[in-house]
Amino acid sequence: MKTQVAIIGAGPSGLLLGQLLQRCGIDNVILERHTPDYVLSRVRAGVLEYGFVNLMREAGVSARMDAEGLEHDGFTLAFQGRRQRVDMMALTGKSVLVYGQTEVTHDLMDARRASGAPILYEATDVQLHDFLDGKPRVTFMHEGQRKTLDCDYIAGCDGFHGVSRQSAPQDRIRNFERVYPFGWLGLLTDTPPVEDELIYVHNPRGFALCSMRSHTRSRYYLQCSLAEHIEEWSDDRFWTELSARLPEDVAAKLQTGPSFEKSIAPLRSFVAEPMRFGKLFLVGDAAHIVPPTGAKGLNLASSDVYTLYHALRGACLDNRPELLDRYSEICLRRVWKAERFSWWMTSLLHAFDGDAFSQRIQQAEQDYYTSTQAGLTTIAENYVGLPYEPVV
């Protein structure tokens, strides 16, 4: 087999890149380790920055997202018995779209199928060869046979645990990491959201988040210890703890119901530098992870996809391969700003076992950022998403 771009991984990064390339006539093949059902079973965040929304439109996959996504002009921060709305629209002129990542993936899968472009599911033992200075090749097992895919470039869109980052020469890669001493316990339920907008809550018992997927489906999260076992969290226990953390007026109108998904996820900040090794490009979670507090995971993957798409267009269509040299530096500039914001929102809103001094500093920070125009503006402009850097 032969193609221009071999894409490893069919998460949102791989599917969106494949769709954009397909539309401008750049051949690509996607190799995915799991089945489509497995890929769709992962529940992730659901807040889309306008940059991501525009890229979905450019890729021609926005019809359902535009029809069903909920436009949010603001969200609320609650702490110390106080609530502050962050009016993103008034502060930045922009909003975000609430539309689940599972739906995004669904729409991208449908578009891939409709385009007829190759996507091989259950491709195992994927190995990357000769991408540093030769002619790149990807080998893998598929339908019981060992196969080879010759290509010009490899896009490593295979997430944090994928093979792409691990295939980079380890003496040329530098990893930056921070782990947090807690996780998020998430619950999905078919009950109406407690309010029309998201509420991020700091409480000495721990952080809580009220989010949603639609007018009839809610997503709630609780900060929890990493030692917690999901089996020990009945729905009743979850609702009782959530109510204890929410402001009283919000708790009073909370509509509870049976959950249909419940899981615990650890929080991590991670960046691998650089994001390019010869003809191999790391994209999305393969190169970086953010804690979910700023809802940046998918949005950050999207700006990588945008940058690689434009660089590959330059290389494949306009005889400008030098644009690929800029991929890593352009991505990392934005990656680190989103890492900073996600880390900062996490520090601002979670309960830490810190000393009394650290707690007072946290309170002062909550107070300062939510009581000045400058503070609210910096939160809003990061939340709606910093601009994408042009690839020129």
Residues that bind ligand PHB (CB under 6 A): 45-47, 198, 209, 211, 219, 292-295
- Cα gap 123→253, rounded to integer Å: 48
163 near ligand APR, rule: CB under 6 A: yes
The yes or no reply on residue 342 touching ligand APR (CB under 6 A) is: no
Could you say whether residue 291 binds ligand APR (CB under 6 A)? no
Q: Does the annotation mark 94 as catalytic?
A: no
Which partner from the list ligand APR, ligand PHB, none does 211 bind, CB cut-off 5 to 8 Å by kind? Answer: ligand PHB
Query: Which of ligand PHB, ligand APR, none interacts with 338 (beta carbon under 5 to 8 A by kind)?
Result: none
Secondary structure of the chain as H, E, C letters = CECCEEEECCCHHHHHHHHHHHHCCCCEEEECCCCHHHHHCCCCCCEECHHHHHHHHHCCCCHHHHHHCEEECEEEEEECCEEEEEEHHHHHCCCEEECCHHHHHHHHHHHHHHHCCCEECCCEEEEEECCCCCCCEEEEEECCEEEEEECCEEEECCCCCCHHHHHCCHHHCEEEEEEEEEEEEEEEECCCCCCCCCEEECCCCCCEEEEECCCCCEEEEEEECCCCCHHHCCHHHHHHHHHHHCCHHHHHCCCCCCEEEEEEEEEEEEEEECCEECCEEECHHHCEECCHHHCCHHHHHHHHHHHHHHHHHHHHHCCCHHHHHHHHHHHHHHHHHHHHHHHHHHHHHCCCCCCHHHHHHHHHHHHHHHHCHHHHHHHHHHHHCCCCCCCC
CB of 145 to ligand PHB, least distance (A): 39
Rounded to a whole number of angstroms, the minimum distance from the CB of residue 45 to ligand PHB is: 4
Candidate list 99, 153, 180, 200, residue with the active-site label: 200
Residue nearest to ligand APR (CB): 11
Q: Is 39 in the site for ligand APR (CB under 6 A)?
A: yes
Which tokens belong to 359? 């707690």
284 binds ligand APR (CB under 6 A): yes
Q: Does residue number 5 form part of the binding site for ligand APR (CB under 6 A)?
A: no
Binding of ligand APR by 273 (CB under 6 A): no
Q: How far is CA 231 from CA 4, 141, 209, 297, 351, in A?
A: 47, 36, 21, 27, 23
- Only one of the segments 69-77, 106-114, 152-160, 307-315 lies at the binding site for ligand APR (rule: CB under 6 A); that segment is 152-160
Cα dist. 74→195, 377, 384, 389 in Å?
12, 12, 10, 25
Identify what 74 binds: ligand PHB, ligand APR, none; CB under 5 to 8 Å per kind.
Answer: none
Q: Name the one range near ligand APR by CB under 6 A: 55-63, 151-159, 246-254, 368-376.
A: 151-159
> Pick from 84, 356, 78, 372: which is nearest to 200 by CA?
78
Number of residues engaging ligand APR in binding (CB under 6 A) = 26
Catalytic member of 292, 310, 350, 369: 292
Catalytic site residue 72? yes
Which CB atom, from 16 or from 380, has the smaller least distance to ligand APR? 16
User: Which of ligand PHB, ligand APR, none does 316 bind, CB closer than 5 to 8 A by kind?
Assistant: none
Q: CB under 5 to 8 A by kind: which of ligand PHB, ligand APR, none does 295 bind?
A: ligand PHB
| 10: contact with ligand APR by CB under 6 A | yes
Positions 296 through 335 that interact with ligand APR (CB under 6 A): 297-298, 301
- Binding of ligand APR by 107 (CB under 6 A): no
Question: Is 2 assigned a catalytic role?
Answer: no
Q: In the numeric block, which tokens belong to residue 258?
A: 């049976």
Please confirm, yes or no, whether 221 is among the known catalytic residues.
no
The answer to whether 138 contacts ligand APR (rule: CB under 6 A) is: no
Q: 48 has which bridge partners?
A: 97
**Residue 310 touches which member of ligand APR, ligand PHB, none, C-beta under 5-8 Å by kind:** none
Give the span between the Cα atoms of 334 and 326, in whole angstroms: 13
CA pair distance 58, 199, nearest whole angstrom: 31
Stretch that binds ligand APR, among 29-37, 202-210, 222-230, 263-271 (CB under 6 A): 29-37
Report, in Å, the least distance between residue 201 CB and ligand PHB: 12
Q: Is 215 a catalytic residue?
A: no
The active-site residue out of 202, 279, 288, 296 is 296
Active site residues: 72, 200, 292, 296, 383
Residues that bind ligand APR (CB under 6 A): 8-14, 31-34, 39, 44, 101, 123, 126, 157-159, 162-163, 284-285, 297-298, 301
